[in-house]
Copies of this chain bind each other. A is one copy, B any other.
Amino acid sequence: MMKVAIFLLFVVLIPSQYTHAQSCTIDNAINLMIKSSTESLVSSVLSKVKLDCTSVSARGADVSCPSGYLATACACGMACGSWDIRGDAACHCQCANIDWTSARCCKTRVVG
């Protein structure tokens, strides 16, 4: 009778309580670990995405941004303010006999 009682104690009661308590503890610990990992990750990730801009200039009425950049604006010689952007990354000044054209080129980049 005593043996059966000990047998039942180990096979049924202790594992079930032990597993239940351990499961909660582990769940909470994992949730805390994931939460702290992702929270620090979020702030570090978000602050790493920055705008990166550069300017290019060329003789004539056309100039293209470096690869990976998009044109956000164009400037033209001869005081001309009439321009258009072709294919997302190339500036074209529309006034006649333009001497120079420049493009302002931007992209997002990851810093640090």
Contact = CB atoms under 8 A, between A and B. Distances in A.
B106 A108 contact: no
A35 B77 CA distance: 53
Given A7-B6, A82-B80, A110 B33 contact: no
Size band of the A side of the interface? 35 or more
A63 interface: no
A61 interface: no
A59 interface: no
Contacts of A106: 51, 70, 72, 106
Copies of the polypeptide in the assembly: 3
Contacts of A76: 81-82
- The prevalent SS among residues of A at the interface is mixed
A79 to B, nearest CB: 5
B46 A110 contact: yes
A106 B48 CA distance: 16
Interface of A: 2-3, 6-7, 10-11, 14-15, 18-19, 22, 26-27, 29-31, 33-35, 37-38, 41-42, 44-53, 55, 57, 70-85, 88, 94-95, 102, 104, 106-108, 110
